[in-house]
Structure 1
Amino acid sequence: MAESTEAEVRRDPPTAEYPEVSERQTERIPDRSEPAPATSVSSNRFLRGLFWVIASIGLVMAMIVGAQSVGWLPEFKNPFATQREDRSQPPLLNSIQDLSRYVAAEGNFQVIIDVQENQKYVPDFLVNDRVLFVAAGTVEAYVDFSNIGEGAIKASEDRRTVEVTLPEPQLGKPNLDPENSRVFSQQRGLLNRIKDAFSNDPNRMAEVYKLAEERISEAAKASTMGERAKENTKKMLEGLLRSLGYQVITIAYKAP
C-alpha cells in the first residue's frame, strides 16, 4: 500500500518533447484578439477628426483664394492697415493772367547742396546741422512778345521782305522737381536734436530750397540757353512768315 502511494506521488521526469512548465510560465498570456483599450480608440478618433478639420479649412481657404484671383469674390483688405486721411482744403483760384511769351528752350539742371552750420571750438556731436540735398529743376528761356511795340515789324509793300525786331530772351525762375529732389542725408548734434524736440522750425528747409534755386539760376545764366532760345524763335518765325508769302526775312534782337 505504501509503494502504490509513493508511485502516485512521484512525478515523471521532464522530457524534451513535453518540457516542464513552471508556475511563472503558467501565467495568463493576453489574447491579441481582445479589443484595444478605450483610451487608445479615443485618441485615434481625435487625431483622425483633427486631420479632417485641418484639411477642410485648407480646402476652404484655397477655394476663397481661387475665387478672388478670378474676380468672383471681393478683395478682403487688412483691417489693421495704415489709413491716410487728407484734410487739405480745396484749391482757391486767385487770379488768371494771359501769357504772351514764347518758350523757346528749357534746361534741366541738378545740383547738390551741402550746407553745414556749427560752432567753433564745439564738437560736432554736440552742435552740428549738416544737410546734403540733391535738387533737380528746370529753367525756361522765353521771348516776351508783349514788349513788341510799334515799328517792331517792318514789311515791304510787295510783301516779300520783312524785318522783325524782338526783345532778348529771358530766363524764368527755377522750378524744383519734388519727385527728383530729396534730402540725401542729414546730420544733427545732440543739442540740436534736443532743441528740435521743444521748438522745431518747419521753415528750416526753406533756406536749403532757396539756395538750390539760386544755384540752378546761376547755372542757367552760364549756359547757352539764351542763344538756343534765339535760334529756336528765329526758326519758328521764319516758318510762319514764309507761309504768309515773305521771302526775305530778318530777325533781330534788342535788349528790353
Structure 2
Amino acid sequence: MTTSIEPTRETEPTRRPPGRMPGWAKVLTAVVVVLVVMFAGIRLSLLPGLRDFFGTQTHDRSGPALLKSIQDMSRYDAASGNFQVVVDLEKDAKYLPDAIRGTRTLYVGAGTVDAYVDLGKVSDKNVTVDEDRTSATLRLPHAQLGKPALDPDRSYAVSKQRGLLDRLGDLFSDNPGGEQAVQKLAVKHIGDAAKESELTARAETNTSDMLQGLLRSLGFKEVKVSYGP
C-alpha cells in the first residue's frame, strides 16, 4: 500500500495594512503628549545651561511718539492716594475639575488716585472782594477723584494656577498668561477704595490752604474759601 505524503504549508503571518499605527504606539504617543504639556511650565532656570541657549533678546524698534493734541488743564491736583490690593481671581469650568479646566491668579495691584479741584469752573460770581481789597470770599466746586492709575513697577502676580486645557491654550495664544482681567479688577478695587477714603476732603483742605496763602501774600488779610455746587 502506497502512502502519499503532502508537503506541509507554513502559515504566513498576518500583515497589518500599511499606514496604520498599532494600538500600543497610539497609547505611547498620547502619553508623550501629556508629559510634554505637563512639563511645559518648568522654568529654564531649573535646567543648567539651557537658559542661555533658549534665551531671548529684546529689541525696541518702536517709532517716535507723535503729539496728537494739547489740552489746557485748569484743575489743581491737591492730593494723591497710594493704594494696594490683593486680587484673587478664580475661573472654574462647570463640569470639569480644576486640574483639567480652570484658572486662579493671585495678583498684587498697586496704584494711585489723584483728587483735584476744577478751578476752571470758578466764575466772577464765585469770588467776592471788598472795596478795600483786604477781604476775599471764594466758593469753589467740590473736589473730585481722577481715574486710578496702576503702577506696573509695583504690581505683580504672586501665583498662577492653570488647568491642562488652559496650558494647551497658552501654547497657541498671542498673549499667554495675560493679566488683563486681574489688572482691571485691581483698578476697580482701587477706585472703590478711593471713594471710601478721605481723599477729596484732604484735597479741599489743601486747596484752601494754597489759595489763602496766595491771596495773603498779595495783601489780603482775610480769605474765606467754601465748597459747593
Tell me, yes or no, if structure 1 residue 135 matches structure 2 residue 109: yes
State the Cα deviation string for residues 174-204 of structure 1 (Å, max 9, x = none): 1111110111111100011112223455694
For structure 2, the residue ranges without an aligned partner over 5 or more in a row are: 1-54
TM-score by length of 2: 0.72
For structure 1, the residue ranges without an aligned partner over 5 or more in a row are: 1-80
Supply the AA of the counterpart residue of 1:197. Answer: L
4+ residue runs over 3 A deviation:
81-84, 199-204
After TM superposition, list the pairs within 5 Å mapping 1:22-33 onto structure 2: none
Contact 2:88–2:104 (Cα < 8 Å) also in 1: yes
State the Cα deviation string for residues 101-124 of structure 1 (Å, max 9, x = none): 111111000011110101134211
After TM superposition, list the pairs within 5 Å mapping 1:175-254 onto structure 2: 175-201=149-175, 204-254=178-228
By how many angstroms is 1:207 displaced? 2.3
Contact 2:170–2:176 (Cα < 8 Å) also in 1: no
Supply the AA of the counterpart residue of 1:205. Answer: E
State the Cα deviation string for residues 147-191 of structure 1 (Å, max 9, x = none): 112311100001111100101001101111111011111110001
Indicate the percent of aligned positions where both proteins have the same amino acid.
49
- CA–CA separation in structure 1 for the residues paired with 2:137 and 2:176: 54
- CA–CA separation in structure 1 for the residues paired with 2:89 and 2:225: 45
State the Cα deviation string for residues 85-138 of structure 1 (Å, max 9, x = none): 212222121111111111111100001111010113421100111111111101
The verdict on how the C-alpha distance between 1:191 and 1:200 changes in structure 2, with shifts beyond 3 A counting, is farther
- CA–CA separation in structure 1 for the residues paired with 2:114 and 2:173: 39
- CA–CA separation in structure 2 for the residues paired with 1:128 and 1:220: 32
- CA–CA separation in structure 2 for the residues paired with 1:199 and 1:135: 24
- SS of residue paired to 1:207: helix
Which of the pair has the greater relative contact order for Cα pairs under 8 Å at 6+ separation? 2
Count how many residue pairs are aligned between Structure 1 and Structure 2. 175
TM-score by length of 1: 0.65
Q: Mark the structure with the bigger radius of gyration.
A: 1
Tell me, yes or no, if structure 1 residue 116 matches structure 2 residue 116: no
1:171 to 137, 145, 165: 145
Tell me, yes or no, if structure 1 residue 145 matches structure 2 residue 119: yes
